[in-house]
Amino acid sequence: MPQFQGSGFILTLPEQCYDASAYAFVLPECNGFAPNLVIRFEDVTAGTDITQYADKALASLSGQFEAFELVNKLAGKRGEWEGVIATMEWGSGAARMAQKQFYILAGGRKTRVYVLTTTDLLANAKLSDPVFDQVLRSFAPNQIQFI
């Protein structure tokens, strides 16, 4: 039975279980909103095209938010990993949101797409973007724990 080590806990799971975690990290509140980073992942088949994966996800998002605007999208490689980074905004007035999504395709024992999503008020983005950019640059998939 595999063991899973979480933040402050460990548990033993049956062999058929798999990790479908989403991780959320929150920066200090600013102007009534707590900027956040959410990391989720999906196991995919080898040969998955990360640009097509991101395009499909972004198309889905565009229909979910008022005044959605895809500001920028760039595909490329970061080290050995292929990826796409997209910047978008939605909402209006003081509640207009700024979001970045970083899609990373990582191989290894499993082929996995990681989606790192940063969210903040557009008005706060000049403060939070440099922090988020530093965090995103530090992200590195590894093979330490797969269940």
Check which CATH number belongs to the domain holding 126 and give it.
3.40.1000.10
Question: Is residue 3 in some structural domain?
Answer: no
Give the Cα separation of 101 and 62 in Å (integer).
13
In a domain, 4, yes or no: no
- Nearest CA-CA partner of 124 in 94, 87, 102: 94
10 inside domain: no
Q: Is the pLDDT of residue 118 over 80?
A: yes
Domain limits for position 107: 21-138
| Any domain includes 11 | no
The model's pLDDT over 76-92, given as tens digits with 9 standing for 90+, comes to 998 889 999 999 999 99
Looking at every residue in the chain, the average pLDDT score rounds to 92
Give the number of domains in the chain.
1
Q: Label residue 146 by pLDDT band (50, 70, 90).
A: low
For residue 60, give the amino acid letter: S
pLDDT in tens, 26-71: 999 999 999 999 999 999 999 999 999 999 999 999 889 999 999 9
Domain membership flag for residue 44: yes
Q: 71 CB contacts (<8 Å, ≥6 apart)?
A: 87, 88, 89
Residue 35 lies in a domain: yes
Tokens coding 66: 């008022």
pLDDT-based confidence at 107, cuts 50/70/90?
A: confident
